Structure 1
Amino acid sequence: MYAALLNNVLVLAVDEAQKQQNKNLSQKYFCPHCQREVQLIIKKERSYFKHLAQVTNMSGENKEHALSKELLYTALRKTHFDAQMETSLANGQLRADILASPKLAFEIQCAPLNKSEFRHRHSLYWNLGIKDIWIVGKRHYLEQNLKKSQLIFFRNNQAWRDYYLEINPQQEILRLKYNVLLEPVTNKLHYQIQVFNLNPVGLRNLWHFQPNLQKYQVNAQKQKEYLQLQLAQKSLKGMQIAEKLYKKRQTIEDLPSWVFQNFRAVNTCDNVTKYLNQT
């Protein structure tokens, strides 16, 4: 990472390294994408920012998972589902957190999960003809910016569009984040939120929820400035787009207005890359 946030202002690693060497300052920097704290690494050949190692509280995650599972199971049983916990499926290859019916399962994910493991479990459900709904714990909550690790948990339907389900067992609620869209160029998320109590009434309200979908607004100039910054910093995205622009013999000023104005679905590339790949 060659840039980070300092007091909510984007700064370059090379500039901060120079300041620290001259004044021996100690500052707190944060990632502009995930908001986690990062450390300035100063080396002779180059300076950069690096994410601080996270300490994983597996005991806390296990408690969160167990309590979430118990609350959802109880609510489903009271809603007249013949729900079962820890059901073995696919000749023991798969264990469903909660099998609500022969065609519906719920997975509550509080711990890390890589894409290959998710695909394996999801494909087993698919082969069995079971719809798997994934509900995430605190570790995976959606915030301002999208993380790649969150993409696997999205689902889509006509009423909610792209949506994401979160559980908070301490508050005994389910949180639906729906109508999720990404800004044209950045990874900043826009979504609506509806909270449901983790009880039979709350589940019924969730099943029948028919929202009015908002139309989001975006500052096209800010999107353009973000792209200019990516190019100037020579980030991975910036270098990839710069190469495509060079091959097309185009500049940022040649890009059509929709590139900076139209929101995009999750799990799609930014509009600039989309346009350059099409033309």
Structure 2
Amino acid sequence: MSTKRNQDLVKSVKNKGKNLEGEMSFFDHLAELRVHLIRASVAVIFFTIICFIYYDFIFDTVIMGPHKPSFWTYRAMCRIGEYFNMGPGFCITNIPGKIINTEMAGQFTLQINSALMTGLVLGFPYLLWEVWRFVKPALKDNERKSASGFVFYASLLFIVGLLFGYFIVAPLSVNFLSNYSISPDIENTITIDSYFSSVATLTLCTGAVFELPIVIYILSQLGVMTPSFMRDKRRYAVIIILVIAAIVTPTPDIPTMLTVSFPLFLLYELSIHVSARVQKKKEKAEREFFAN
């Protein structure tokens, strides 16, 4: 009886040792994650300080750009309208609506928030790099090799999405909403917070939507998404994309909605291609495993 108790005691001590080892490993990972997040935060703070110092350019040229008739998108639309004889309605020469500030600390808060958001956008690739450095040691050699371009492609898609949102989605939405009126007795007087949040939301959301191939890649690696499923549900995806385009660009004209939805169609087809490549690699690895 005493021998059995001793064996149980030894077994419980061993189990406790394993639990302590696991807990220490877990806390070690948390400590390492904290180091990576601190580095990423330092990078974001650095870019935020730079944006705060050079805020005149950021505010006048970047933030207020879609509200100026001299913005690149509006000038391009004028040239396209002249080339195809589309009439003066396609050329935007005036953005109505006066932008005002209604709070005592509104402009100071705007400078801090917009500088922080710009710093976060500029530091986003480095943030992804730090996340990759944290996850990389836990991956197997084949997984590490297949995901080696994660930071580059994720950053590239995000930047392309930001540019598309800033130069296409944001100005078209700003122009439509500024000219929209239900009565001539109502004058559009827009607060700077409302204007900035609209432009920032449209731009950042478009950047996030362009990460669809990366999301599909991860889901395909986990076995949640397959190319056959995406091909079968393509017609539903078309409807969802058109709904997203209608929400992102609150304009009633079909050409504008199709302009926004066309890149989303391309992203969906690219995602199918990405999922198919992941599936082929999985099938090849399985064949090699059973062959050996």
Q: Which of structures 1 and 2 has the larger relative contact order (alpha carbons within 8 angstroms, sep 6+)?
A: 2
Is the strand fraction higher in 1 or 2? 1
Is the helix fraction higher in 1 or 2? 2
Decide: shared fold, TM above 0.5.
Answer: no
What TM-score, normalized to structure 1?
A: 0.25
What TM-score, normalized to structure 2?
A: 0.24
* Structure of greater Rg: 2
